[in-house]
Amino acid sequence: PEAYSFEAEPYYLKVANRRWYLLARSPYYSARNVELNAEDGGSRPKDVYLVYALDRILACEPLEESFVMDESFDIEAYYRGCCGVIHSEEEPVRLLLNAYDHGADYLRTLPIHESQRELPSEVEGVACFELEVCPTYDLYQALLAMGDQIEVLEPQSVREEMYNFAKNLMAYYEPTTEA
């Protein structure tokens, strides 16, 4: 709710859902992790990367000191299996889904993820798609945006999470009885 200033070392620009984002290394949180690891022997990452929506940045100004970008940082590896701007340390999982009616055409023209491929389907009017993705909030948003046009078949953990979203959504629309 309130603006604040911070230092950031810009690494990459990324667009997702019609919004531009900046992926930047945080000198503050990176140094903090190094200190905390020294104190308690922890295994926190030495470099902390944060994502900022460009349309939420009010002002930006260069500092006197510069930084050296880590040449070993690999943006493709960092976002491997991710559907948006949320990073995941987890390995991507095989996601299998059925698309119904116009949902299949939509997925053919606007894939959820670059790993998406269509599999042969023996059911008339049903298309089957496979993706290698990390189950992040961005993925669930993309799946939920498809409404009743898709059904997640596997993995069971993603199917159960979709069920929980649907159950919560149904609770919002419970019919009310008027007195």
Count the helices and strands in the chain (H runs, E runs): 5, 7
Mean pLDDT across 112-116: 96
In this prediction the pTM is 0.85
pLDDT tens digits, one per residue of 155-168: 999 999 999 999 99
What is the side-by-side order of every strand in the sheet holding 126-133?
117-119, 126-133, 93-100, 150-154
Reference 83, options 14, 7, 160; nearest CA is 14
Mean pLDDT across 57-82: 94
pLDDT at 179: 59
Which CATH topology does 93-172 take? Answer: Alpha-Beta Plaits (3.30.70)
* Domain boundaries for CATH 3.30.70 within the chain: 93-172
- What 3-state DSSP class applies to 117? strand
